[in-house]
Amino acid sequence: MAASGLRARLGRAFLLQAAFIGAAAVVGVFLASLLLEGVLIRQALREEAAHFWLQRERDGVFPLPGTLNLTGYLDTAPTALANLPTGYHDRVIDGVATVVYVTDRGGQRLYLVFDRSGVGRLATVFGLLPLAMVLLVLYLSTWLAFRASRRAFSPVIALARQVRGLDPAAPDPAQLDPARLPRDVDDEVRELADALARYAQRLNEFVDRERNFTRDASHELRSPLTVIQMAAGMLEADAGLSDPSRRSVARIVRAARDMEELTSAFLLLARETHTGLPLEPICVNDVLDDELDRARLLAAGKPIESRLGATHRLHVDAPEKVLHVLLGNLLRNAFSYTDAGEVTVDVGAASVVIRDTGVGIAPGQVDAMYQPFVRGDALRRGGHGVGLTIVRRLSDRFGWPVTIDSSPGVGTRVEIRFPAARSEPIVT
């Protein structure tokens, strides 16, 4: 598609150039013909009349002009010319287009009649013949330039096809080897092919490093988190644990769970695609119910009411972990930045709306909240400033648009739309 588009644009450019030059040449010949008939003929008649009167003064019997194209009359003229005033006149005499020039001198009147039809034919012939030759040379050179341009672009187009055919997960630099190009290709194209081959090699190394990191991080980060959670669970089961210690253990459990969710989100986003993550029908209502229970732990000691309302049961085909990470981050943000009031969640036919009565966000800071390590309230404890960044990247990858409306001191409204979702009304 790109090759044909480039060639088509190149061809249109050459054709347009040739058309403009051809039109300019035709207009030039036409204007030259008008100039010849309208200016040069009249100038010639004026000089012819001046010459006749000068010679007539010297020689009273100087003959009137009488040639194939020019005829002169003195005093007596054909009836069609008899009443013409002095000056130039265009007349058709006996079916012939003429230019008549009338002058007076010493009581005598001179009529010069010029046959312009012959001049028109000569102007046309001698104008069109050179024009045809010029256009022939022009179009031939344009066609040759177009052919040369196509040959010059062909290696670039072939190279672009090879680049487009590379596998992003495992690009093969050998496909871009300059040795595979034709021998008569330009040095610039060879340099481009060599640069692309080196870039493919670096991309291969980067992909390998990314895969190794994802594999190692998945093991090395999850293992200690599992140990922490197991140890904290054993401490919670200790009946002799004091209340302050039990609260500390509960915070450890929540922190370990949050770190596990954060690690899962980072590892998920480290993948180029969601290949390998199972797509299964997930009920959004069930995920929200689970994540809302987790998020309520953040409201311990806060006068916050929360509820989950739904007019539909919403189903999407997605990895369950992805939906938990996205909705969990939004719910935890709502509870973290609300000191008192309420957090409500409403499930509709194709969307989820989360409202809170928290501190809110200034209108100019909403976009900045999607940047890494930016927090709505820098003085508030808890959170790492990456929650909304993860939300934005997951929503972009899976096609779930997220919009945020917020006002300082009033609260925040977050809407997540699921365009491909299936829903069924809840009958009460």
> Which pLDDT band, with edges at 50, 70 and 90, does 384 fall under?
very low
Rounded CA-CA distance 31/68 in Å is: 26
> Which pLDDT tens digit goes with each residue over 57-86?
887 778 888 888 888 998 888 888 888 899
**Angle in degrees, CA 166, 172, 177, rounded to 5:** 100
H or E stretch at 269: helix 243-270
Q: pLDDT class for 409, splitting at 50, 70, 90?
A: confident
| DSSP per-residue string spanning 117-159 | HHHHHHHHHHHHHHHHHHHHHHHHHHHHHHHHHHHHHHHHHHH
Residue showing tokens 């959004």: 284
Q: What digits encode the pLDDT tens for the residues 264-277?
A: 766 766 665 544 56
- Percentage with pLDDT > 70 across the chain: 70
CATH number of 276-425: 3.30.565.10
Q: 211 to each of 169, 171, 176, 225, 273, how far by Cα in Å? A: 10, 14, 24, 21, 12
- Comparing 251 with 331, the larger pLDDT belongs to 331
Residue 387, token pair as written in the block: 């929650």
DSSP symbol at 311: S
Residue 417 has pLDDT above 70, yes or no: yes
pLDDT confidence of residue 275: 47
What pLDDT is attached to residue 3?
43
Residue 373 has pLDDT above 50, yes or no: no
Averaged confidence pLDDT in the chain: 78
385 — pLDDT class (breaks 50, 70, 90):
very low
Rounded Cα–Cα distance for residues 47 and 50 (Å): 5
To which residue do tokens 């004026």 refer?
46
Q: Using 50, 70 and 90 to split pLDDT, how confident is the model at 381? A: very low
Please name every residue paired with 307 in a beta bridge, in sequence order, or none if there are none. Answer: 344
Query: Closest Cα partner for 362 from 392, 340, 337?
Result: 337
Residue 313 and residue 424 in contact, taking contact as beta carbons nearer than 8 Å: yes
Q: How do residues 310-344 score in pLDDT, each as one tens digit?
A: 999 999 998 888 888 889 889 988 998 898 999 99
- pLDDT over 90 at 416, yes or no: yes
User: How much is the pLDDT for 324?
Assistant: 87
Examine the pLDDT at 350 and tell me if it is beyond 80.
yes
Instruction: Give me the mean pLDDT over the 242-262 stretch.
Output: 79
> Strand 312-318's sheet: what is its strand order?
280-283, 312-318, 422-425
Where along the chain do its domains lie?
Answer: 2-147, 168-272, 276-425
